[in-house]
Amino acid sequence: MKAFTVDRYGKKESLRATDVPEPVLRDDEVLIEVHATGVNLLDSKIRSGEFKLILPYRTPFVLGHDVAGVVVRVGPRVRHFKPGDEVYSRPDDFRIGTFAEFVAVKEDSVALKPRNLSMEEAASIPLVGLTAWQALVEKAKLKKGQKVFIQAGSGGVGTFAIQLAKHLGASVATTTGTGNVAWVKDLGADVVVDYKKDAFETILSDYDAVLNSQDGKTLEKSLGVLKPGGQLISISGPPDLAFAEEIKAPWLVKQVLRALSFGTQRKAKRLHVGYSFLFMKASGSQLRQITALIESGAIRPVIDKVFPFDATNEALAYVESGRAKGKVVIKVR
């Protein structure tokens, strides 16, 4: 099958278009014929080697974390899917590989595709949808009437998280560039800070939760907009000791991650707020709950561009440029 592989780690390394064997199907997996796949900053970070410490993939490997497609084969222990089912998923770590014509995914990580979405729209959802769900529903336990600050409102995670937070009944603040202010308000943001004109830390205060997706300086400023007892959930680092224990990291890796997050944890403690790092996990059951929200019209996918499969490297470069409004998708079939 045709696939795009990481042959060497590096920021300037291109993915290689090549032929690889079809994935070997395990007993609890479904083989999905890939119709479309989403492109995420995570793909770029893994290719450049930023996550080698916690996700030591051995090269060469097929990249890609979002899939929408059709089940073509199921393992003997699979109970809930059959060939012909239209599905979507964020495959588990170490079983990624959606920049390909086929991918094998654990049954527990798959859900039926929302009926009202095309394959391209469905492929835009899993990683950003699960990230927003795990940050706002699981970790922040966001409730009606609370205030949440979601950074980078026009990005892939931001566009989904704003809609989810509004569905949960929260008041939402976000940041974006001048040209996108009206657009993110239309998604549901109540307070929009134009980062080209204003500093959010001088405008926002007393927030219950922050979803941080930016750099360390922005994270430090964001801790200051929380009320005492509030919490900051970061998807861009630094990883913390709790995360190291969750992934059962070796002792040395735990010490490295503890050191990386030490300054952030100390500042959070001083401000009487919480800090945690989120590296989202695959979950078919959470995707099913997201499907219900999409089918009810509470959340809609936001796609910037759809690239052909041959232009996978161009799609990745476009995501890295930071110009995308919403998600970038590759049409494979």
Q: Are residues 135 and 105 located together in one domain of the fold?
A: no
- The answer to whether 141 and 177 are in contact (CB under 8 A) is no
Q: Which residue has the tokens 């450049």?
A: 48
- The answer to whether 154 and 163 are in contact (CB under 8 A) is no
The model's pLDDT over 153-199, given as tens digits with 9 standing for 90+, comes to: 999 999 999 999 999 999 999 999 999 999 999 999 999 999 999 99
Q: How far is 123 from 139, CA to CA, in rounded Å? A: 25
The mean per-residue pLDDT over the stretch 14-18 comes to 98
In this predicted structure, what is the pLDDT of residue 300? 97
Q: What is the pLDDT confidence band of residue 247, given thresholds at 50, 70 and 90?
A: confident
Q: Are residues 135 and 273 located together in one domain of the fold?
A: yes
Helices 41-48, 312-320: crossing angle, 10 deg rounding: 100
Q: Are residues 156 and 263 located together in one domain of the fold?
A: yes
Q: How far is 11 from 316, CA to CA, in rounded Å? A: 11
Q: Are residues 242 and 143 located together in one domain of the fold?
A: yes
Query: Can you say whether residue 152 is alpha, beta or left, with left for phi > 0 and alpha for psi between -120 and 50 degrees?
Result: left
Q: How far is 25 from 18, CA to CA, in rounded Å? A: 20
283 part of a folded domain: no
Domain ranges, residue 227: 128-277
Q: Are residues 172 and 223 located together in one domain of the fold?
A: yes
The mean per-residue pLDDT over the stretch 86-95 comes to 98
The model's pLDDT over 284-317, given as tens digits with 9 standing for 90+, comes to: 999 999 999 999 999 999 999 999 999 999 999 9
The mean per-residue pLDDT over the stretch 17-34 comes to 98
Q: Are residues 85 and 204 located together in one domain of the fold?
A: no
Nearest to 204 by CA among 236, 167, 232, 180: 232
Q: Are residues 77 and 119 located together in one domain of the fold?
A: yes
In this predicted structure, what is the pLDDT of residue 269? 97
- Write the DSSP assignment of 150-194 as a string of letters: ES-TTSHHHHHHHHHHHHTT-EEEEEE-GGGHHHHHHHT-SEEEE
Q: Are residues 119 and 27 located together in one domain of the fold?
A: yes
Position 241 pLDDT exceeds 90: no
- The answer to whether 140 and 231 are in contact (CB under 8 A) is yes
Q: Which tokens go with 56?
A: 């030591």
Q: Which tokens go with 312?
A: 């996978």
285 part of a folded domain: no
Position 215 pLDDT exceeds 90: yes
Q: How far is 46 from 41, CA to CA, in rounded Å? A: 9
Q: How far is 252 from 234, CA to CA, in rounded Å? A: 22
91 part of a folded domain: yes
The total number of structural domains that make up the chain: 2
Helix (H) or strand (E) holding 111: strand 110-112
305 part of a folded domain: yes
CATH number at residue 326: 3.90.180.10
